[in-house]
Structure 1
Amino acid sequence: MRPSNSLWQGNFGYWQNNFIHNNILVIGYTGWKGFQSFGRGVVICDVDTKVTHSTITSLDIVPFTLQFLPSNLIEFYLRSLRDGGFISQSMCSSMISSILPSVATYNPYQDILLVLKAEHQIEVNFLHKLKITPPDCYAQVYKRWSEFQPSLMP
Structure 2
Amino acid sequence: MRPSNSVWQGNFGYWQNSFIHNNILVIGYTAWKGFQSFGRGVVLCAMDTQVTHPTITSLDTVPFTLQFLPCDLIGHYLRSQSISSSTISSIFPAVATYNPDRDILLVLKAEPQIEVSFLHQLKITPPDCYEQVCNRWSEFQPSLMP
In the superposition, the TM-score normalised over structure 1's length comes to 0.88
Q: Map 1:60-99; keep pairs closer than 5 Å.
A: 60-82=60-82, 87=83, 92-99=84-91
- 2:58 maps to 58
Which residue does 2:105 correspond to in 1?
113
1:25 aligned partner, one-letter code: L
State the AA in 2 paired with 1:123. E
State the number of aligned residues. Answer: 145
2:127 is the counterpart of 1:135? yes
**What is the CA–CA distance in structure 2 between the aligned matches of 1:50 and 1:98, rounded to whole Å?**
26
TM-superposition CA deviations, 1:59-87 (whole Å, max 9, x none): 111100000000011111111111xxxx4
Matched, 1:10 2:11: yes
CA distance in 2, matches of 1:64, 1:6: 22
**What RMSD in Å do the two structures reach over aligned CA positions?**
1.6
Q: Runs of at least 4 residues of structure 1 off by over 6 A?
A: none
The answer for the alignment partner of 2:33 in structure 1 is: 33
Identical residues among aligned pairs (%): 74
| One-letter code aligned to 1:149 | Q
Q: Which amino acid aligns with 1:139?
A: E
CA–CA distance in structure 1, aligned partners of residues 116 and 19 of structure 2:
14
Secondary structure of 1:68's aligned partner: strand
Q: Distance in 1 between matches of 2:47 and 2:9?
A: 20
